[in-house]
């Protein structure tokens, strides 16, 4: 009986409609995550309609004009990619989830692709970690931050999942955020594309 349950679980995880998940390792997330990274469906920063999540109250202190190390682990596989955005004053500044192309399936709409956005405020990067096979290791990159000062910015990381059914709270996306306190590098000019107060 136990073996049958395990085989069923494996089939569900490998099925086209199975949900993907990711765990945000660096910087530290705004919400306490379980081993799959849950709760993470709701935009802009995770949680679900049934579970808004428990805040970590962590503010990651970083230097403006320098590179921020991003590290995440995809815990349940789906092909797709990631987008990273930065809100300086309010999470309402974060962009909506990207436009998605879908196809009809026997279970309803299934995602095919998502529009890759040009990196400009508030988007720092898009089309990151594009993959069609199960990743063997965590995804990592060093992302340049604008040279600005902000007391509590919100860094948002979203995962677009291709070959995925519509999920109730997140559409075709999963969401994590990290709160950042950014101090501008006085040796560098303030980035003119970004604003923050006080400078």
Length of the chain (residues): 199
Residues 6+ apart with CB under 8 A from 84: 70, 123, 124, 125, 126, 128, 143, 155, 156, 157
Q: Has residue 191 been placed in a domain?
A: no
Q: Per the domain annotation, does 46 fall within a domain?
A: yes
Query: Is 8 a member of any domain?
Result: no
- For residue 167, what pLDDT is reported? 85
**Mean local confidence (pLDDT), 5-23:** 47
Res. 16 pLDDT band, cuts 50 70 90: very low
> Is residue 54 one of the residues assigned to a domain?
yes
Q: Is residue 12 part of a domain?
A: no
145 within domain boundaries: yes
- Domain span at residue 154 reads 19-183
Pairing type for strands 173-183 and 80-87 reads: unpaired
Query: In total, how many domains does the chain have?
Result: 1
Residue 2 belongs to a domain: no
Residue 154 confidence (pLDDT): 98
pLDDT at 3 over 50: no
Question: Which among 54, 51, 169, 172 is positioned nearest to 111, based on CA atoms?
Answer: 172
pLDDT of residue 63: 97
Higher-pLDDT residue of 53 and 13 is 53
Prior bond to 122 cis, omega within 30? Answer: yes
The predicted-structure confidence for 127-177, as pLDDT tens digits, reads as follows 999 999 989 899 999 999 999 999 999 999 999 999 988 888 999 999 999
pLDDT for residue 168: 86
Asked if residue 123 has a cis previous peptide bond (ω within 30° of 0), the answer is: no
User: Is 73 domain-assigned?
Assistant: yes
**pLDDT at residue 107, as a whole number:** 83
Contact status, residue 80 vs residue 174, Cβ threshold 8 Å: no
Identify any residues that bridge with 150 across adjacent strands, giving them in sequence order. Answer: 182
CATH code: domain of residue 124: 2.70.50
């Amino acid at each position: 009986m136990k073996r049958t349950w395990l085989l069923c679980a494996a089939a569900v995880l490998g099925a086209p409609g199975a949900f993907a998940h990711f765990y945000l390792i660096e910087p530290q997330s705004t919400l306490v995550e379980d081993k799959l990274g849950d709760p993470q469906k709701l935009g802009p920063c995770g949680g679900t309609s049934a579970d808004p999540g428990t805040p970590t109250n962590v503010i990651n202190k970083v230097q403006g004009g320098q590179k921020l190390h991003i590290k995440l682990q995809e815990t349940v596989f789906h092909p797709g990619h990631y987008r990273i955005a930065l809100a300086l004053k309010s999470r309402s500044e974060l962009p909506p989830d990207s436009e998605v192309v879908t196809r009809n399936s026997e279970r309803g709409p299934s995602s095919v692709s998502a529009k890759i956005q040009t990196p400009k405020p508030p988007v720092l990067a898009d089309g990151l970690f594009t993959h069609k096979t199960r990743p063997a290791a965590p995804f990592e990159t060093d992302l340049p931050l604008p040279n600005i000062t902000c007391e509590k910015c919100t860094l948002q990381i979203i995962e677009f999942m291709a070959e995925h059914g519509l999920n109730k709270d997140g559409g075709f996306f999963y969401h994590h955020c990290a709160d950042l306190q950014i101090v501008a590098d006085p040796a560098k000019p303030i980035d003119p594309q970004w604003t923050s107060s006080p400078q």
